[in-house]
Amino acid sequence: MVNASFGTVNVEVEGEAYPVVLAPGFEGLGQAVAAVLPAGRIVVVTNDVVAPLHAAAAEQALRAGGWDPAFVVLPDGERHKNLDIWRDLVGRLLDVPVDRRTPVLALGGGVTGDMVGFAAASVLRGVPFVQVPTTLLAMVDASVGGKVAVNTIQGKNLVGAFWQPRLVYAPFAALETLSDAELRCGLGEVLKHAVLGGEGPFAALEADAPALRNRGSEAVARAVRASVVCKAAVVAADPRELGVRATLNLGHTLAHAIEAVAGYGAIRHGEAVAMGLMAVTKYSEAAGWSHSGLSRRVAGLCVGLGLPARPADDLDRDALVRAVAFDKKRDRATITLVVPAAIGQVVLRNVPLTEVPALVDALFES
């Protein structure tokens, strides 16, 4: 990665701030954590895929910064992001043991960060939390903003908390170990942030799309920074999702339903977000809420990034309707839908549950 892409983006939340450090590798991790918390014992929670790849580098960097790390390894995958694994993690943290000054560090992707963050928010009524995202999806979205949760059989992220990290440290070197499919998964959230960000970020992403598909390091670095800047601004304005932060759910009402119906892990989150974003844009344009031609423009960038615009025909439509109707953003007989009126202009609309079948139909339109 080029040096110009590194540096710090600060996230201001309720009168306090924490840094998102964009770094070339793990080398500065220990010092970065020590800059925000007093060095001592730290618990690193990772998963059985990330541990062989990055645990040694993380441990070396932490020890160089004066930390004494203990490691907890979880099973990898969205299907393990549940209350049973969370309960086991809480018990293992208490067995370490941790006290209220012991930081808990999440080393991994969005699933790991969500699970560990929710445990950190719960153990001893809250311990310091550090995010070290190792996937593009986690770097551009899940690690920033403090929303932590686990899934239930009823849906995605239905049990959780708001628990802000003290630090996010994003080592770009970790992206080199991702498969093309995993890297592409992160581009779904990059696309969402570009739609939210306005014409400048959207046009920049259009220009960078070929390089992103080919894993161009400078293009990836620009995408990460642009997404973090976008999300940091929204989180600062609305840390607990009482207003404008709900716009970050663009595409997610359908995305969460797709993931639940397909079976967690069968369709990657970023791919589901791209499908959900396309569907809500088509639905909104048909309703006259969006500028004419918006769906075509979003579809063009979706294809340019190598993202799927729709799911397979055999995905259960009736189950999708039920899952959307159960979404946590439901309010009595309506759901709150994030609608793109134009690039950089999104609004919240209360949509009657009777309209959910039409929204799902939009998901399968070519």
Among all residues, which ones are annotated catalytic?
125, 147, 189, 231, 241, 245, 249, 252, 256, 269
Which residues, in sequence order, are CB contacts of 123 under 8 Å at separation 6+?
90, 93, 94, 98, 104
The answer for residues whose C-beta is within 8 angstroms of residue 28's C-beta and 6 or more apart is 21, 61, 169
Tokens of 185: 């998964």
Between CA 164 and CA 198, with CA 10 as vertex, the angle to 5 degrees is 100
Dihedral sign for Cα atoms in the order 281, 287, 292, 296: positive
